[in-house]
């Protein structure tokens, strides 16, 4: 059953939106995690039409966030970009914008974290207005320097608590970022219904690049089925999103890769 399988467009990087939509649909896939670059160069209504024509749902728009800033102008520009992302998500029918919250090497982590909290707060009203959720994706601690200062699920839960648990803020739980955490099971249970996105791939040994050496599910050491079980124990029954950055797989034949993704999903996720 592929009913819950979604693929992020970045996973099959060489395909633009029309090709990806046609290929995914032909393979029986029904959900797409749409990266914003895949919307460039055509009206949003046209992108929406491409998805509709293939019976595909946009399950997430990727990505907003990057709130830490070095000037008031950067601050406003980051907020504006997130408001635009919410509009784009609404236009293509995506229920959530996935947030890579950001970090600046020039700032203390505590400062980046404060900027993230303020940035999120500034976007909640528009999230409510658009009906699109802000989905915080805690990133692996190896990205704390310049990608995200939000690095564990526990920290994400604390942050959402601090913001007053607004229903407009959810969590995208990606096994790649979270699998190592000794508190993972506990914090998944604590997150409960906040978890609105579940991303899968695998951790390779050795990992030869910090960003673009993710594995296909089953190629690595992550207990994907175990984490999925814990996530579903919260009541989560939505899409399972395959998000793989891999120079190795990106250089592979994409049609064959898509088949391997489906097989890996069936064997190592379901």
Positions that interact with a copy of itself (CB under 8 A): 105, 108-109, 113, 140-142, 144-146, 151-152, 155, 158, 179-182, 203, 205-208, 210, 220-221, 223, 226
Instruction: Kindly give, in sequence order, each residue whose CB lies less than 8 Å from that of residue 165, ignoring residues fewer than 6 positions away.
Output: none
| Nearer CB in complex with a copy of itself: 140/199 | 140
Q: How far is the CB of 158 from a copy of itself (least distance, A)?
A: 8
| Nearer CB in complex with a copy of itself: 180/255 | 180
| Nearer CB in complex with a copy of itself: 207/234 | 207
| Nearer CB in complex with a copy of itself: 212/270 | 212
For residues 141 and 96, is the Cβ–Cβ distance under 8 A?
A: no
Q: How far is the CB of 56 from a copy of itself (least distance, A)?
A: 34
| Nearer CB in complex with a copy of itself: 16/145 | 145
Q: How far is the CB of 261 from a copy of itself (least distance, A)?
A: 22
What is the C-alpha to C-alpha distance for residues 265 and 247, in angstroms, rounded to an integer?
A: 20
Q: How far is the CB of 221 from a copy of itself (least distance, A)?
A: 4
| Nearer CB in complex with a copy of itself: 88/219 | 219
What is the C-alpha to C-alpha distance for residues 128 and 168, in angstroms, rounded to an integer?
A: 6
**SS3 assignment, position 20:** helix
Q: For the beta carbon of residue 10, count every other beta carbon within 10 angstroms.
A: 18
Buried b (16+ CB within 10 A) or exposed e, 48-70: bebbeebebbbbbbbbbbbbbbe
Q: Position of tokens 């914090």?
A: 187
124 burial (CB, 10 Å; 0-12 / 13-18 / 19+) is middle
What is the C-alpha to C-alpha distance for residues 211 and 54, in angstroms, rounded to an integer?
A: 31
Q: How far is the CB of 162 from a copy of itself (least distance, A)?
A: 12
Q: How far is the CB of 209 from a copy of itself (least distance, A)?
A: 8
């Amino acid at each position: 059953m592929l009913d819950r399988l979604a693929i992020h467009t970045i996973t099959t990087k060489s395909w633009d939106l029309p090709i990806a939509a046609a290929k995914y649909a032909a393979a029986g896939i029904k959900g797409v995690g749409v990266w914003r670059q895949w919307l460039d160069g055509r009206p949003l209504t046209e992108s929406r039409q491409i998805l509709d024509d293939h019976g595909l749902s946009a399950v997430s728009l990727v990505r907003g966030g990057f709130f830490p800033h070095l000037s008031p102008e950067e601050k406003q520009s980051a907020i504006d970009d997130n408001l635009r992302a919410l509009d784009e998500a609404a236009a293509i029918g995506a229920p959530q914008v996935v947030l890579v919250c950001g970090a600046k090497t020039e700032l203390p982590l505590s400062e980046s974290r404060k900027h993230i909290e303020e940035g999120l707060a500034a976007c909640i009203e528009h999230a409510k207005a658009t009906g699109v959720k802000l989905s915080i994706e805690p990133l692996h601690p190896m990205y704390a320097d310049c990608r995200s200062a939000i690095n564990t699920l526990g920290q994400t839960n604390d942050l959402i608590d601090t913001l007053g648990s607004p229903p407009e803020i959810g969590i995208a739980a990606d096994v790649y970022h979270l699998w190592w955490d000794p508190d993972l099971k506990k914090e998944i249970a604590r997150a409960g219904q906040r978890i609105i996105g579940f991303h899968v791939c695998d951790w390779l040994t050795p990992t030869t690049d910090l960003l673009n050496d993710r594995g296909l599910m089953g190629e690595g050491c992550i207990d994907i089925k175990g984490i999925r079980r814990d996530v579903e124990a919260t009541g989560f029954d939505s899409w399972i999103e395959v998000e793989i950055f891999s120079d190795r797989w990106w250089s592979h034949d994409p049609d064959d890769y898509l088949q391997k993704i489906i097989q890996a999903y069936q064997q190592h996720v379901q």
